[in-house]
Structure formats: structure tokens, C-alpha cells
Structure 1
């Protein structure tokens, strides 16, 4: 054991000299930036990079909505990437008749997002049963959040419908 220590002590200085001579000197190059390292993530922007044929709510006012850079006044009905002007001017005018087009759309959207205007409204059982009879779920929320929810679900590629009153509408 003592012989091993003596050998190690004798070779240590020469080992240190060898390592100090072969130490890699830092190059005068800057380190790669984190921005470059994460550039793939910088290029992915789910809000702005939307296919031209995909509807995207970009804004709302008390009287309408901005969709794909175009301002629309009044209520809107969106099914997938189809946008239509919609008749109801207030929440009480939303009926099974005003949503009857949903019966013939194929494939049937999995959910109807109902934008109630400025505030969430209670959906009457008759309308709720009508939507359920088509095979759809119903989510009734204020129009601002309804537009955002539509964007997210549509962006995911899900088949979704939205019936939106302008956000200035109150009950």
C-alpha cells in the first residue's frame, strides 16, 4: 500500500504538467445565443400563423367582430370555417329555428359555442335539448370568450360551431 502511495506521489507532478500543457484554450468565438438555440420555437406562433382558409376571430366591438382582418357587424354563425351573418339581435331571439341549419351540416360539429353577448345567459331547456338532439354539446359563455374558444378549438382541427351575438348585447 505504501508503495502505491509513493508511486502516485512521484507521478502526480508530471501528470499535472501534462494536463496544463494540453488544456484547451477557449476560442475567441462567442457562445451560441439561446435565441438561436430556440429558434424553432420562435417560429411557431399559433396566434398569427393561421392558414388562409381557417377562420380566426381577431377582435370584437359592441356591435360586431373582426374575422381574418374583415370587420362584420351584427351576429355571426360559424360552422367549421364557414362564416355567415346570423339573424338574432338579442339572446331571447336564439331559438331552435335560428339554429336549424345545424341539423343539415355534415359532419356534425361536436360542440356549439354560444356567445351570449356581454354576459353569460341561462339557456332554456328546449334549446339545450334541440342542440343535444343533433348530437352536439353546448357551451354558453360571453361572446368575447366564445370567440377565443372557437379560435382554439378550430385551430386544433376540431369540428366546431359558434353562434355569436355582439358583445354589446345585454339581456
Structure 2
């Protein structure tokens, strides 16, 4: 029997299956709904995949207006992350991000595929001089708000891509 035929056969048997289940319910409540399947999957409610960090990988697990939680440790202020390196970063507002603040990427090897720039609460336009500097290192640039920057970093890092992130806290607005 082909896959489509099996599906059709199962679909025709479903009303019979439901009727049989209803007959098995206690007779005092004939119109009582079927038992919830949620209890059968309650184990999934107890598993939080976001909190599971693979060995040797940095992972953002939260953020506040003043900092970030990485691998269950709360960090205040701006962060610069590459590979297994996590360091505080000097810019406190978007206008302070320049070639000097990103000078680490002149010497770091292997060169990350992409630099995720967390601009704070809102996306900010990157000045051409800074964009040229980042491109001259061999990286691509993604400038987005810091909340989404942290998520994007996690996804790309989990995929095994060589990625870097420079993030201002989510509360920064200029």
C-alpha cells in the first residue's frame, strides 16, 4: 500500500477510533471531551533548549537594558565576542563605534565571515568609513538592533559558522 493510500485508510478509521475512545469513558459523562494529549508530552515542557549550551560555545541567553547573559553569566555594558573570546567593549553609544574600537579584527585569525553589530535598541546607519574598514578585513557586516543581533549570533554560531558580534546594551538609543 502506498503512502497516500495509507493516509486515506487512516483518515477513514479516525471517526471509528474516536467513537471507541468515547465509549471507554465513564458512562456518567458521555459528552466529556477526550483526555488531553498535553500530559503525554509534559516532558517537553520541562526541557529548555535555549539554556543548553554546547561545550566550548558562547551563547546569549538573555539581555537587559544594561547588559547581556552569556552562558548563564550576567555581563554589564557592551560586549565583543569572537570564537571563545568574550570581552567588554569600550563604546557606550553608537557614535563611539569606529575603526579603533574594532581594531581587534585587523589581527584576528581566522577572519570571521560576518560581524554582527548590535546597535542598541534601534538599528542605526553605519557610516561609509566604518563599513569600508569592516569590508577591508574580509568580513561582511550586519548592523541590527542588539536583541536581534544576540539571536542572530546564536543561530550562526550554532551552525558552526565563524561569526563575531559587537553589541551595545539593548537600552542604548543613540
* 8 Å contact from structure 2 (residues 80, 88) kept in 1: yes
- What's the TM-score once normalised by structure 1's chain length? 0.73
The secondary structure found in structure 1 opposite 2:50 is coil
- Tell me, in whole angstroms, the C-alpha distance in 2 between the residues paired with 1:45 and 1:165: 26
1:47, CA displacement in angstroms?
3.0
1:138, CA displacement in angstroms?
0.1
Larger Rg: 1
* 8 Å contact from structure 2 (residues 50, 61) kept in 1: no
Per-residue deviation, residues 21-69 of structure 1 (Å, max 9, x unmatched): xxxxxxxxxxxxx9xxxxxx9xx97534322321010000000000000
Q: Gaps (5+ residues) in structure 2?
A: 1-36, 38-43
Between the two proteins, the alignment pairs up a number of residues equal to 133
- What's the TM-score once normalised by structure 2's chain length? 0.71
Alignment of 1:119-130 (within 5 A): 119-130=122-133
* Aligned Cα root-mean-square deviation (Å): 2.1
The secondary structure found in structure 2 opposite 1:131 is helix
* 8 Å contact from structure 2 (residues 53, 71) kept in 1: no
1:147, CA displacement in angstroms?
0.2
- Tell me which stretches of 4 or more aligned residues in structure 1 moved more than 4 Å: none
Alpha carbons of structure 1 residues 107 and 147: separation in structure 2 relative to 1, 3 Å? same
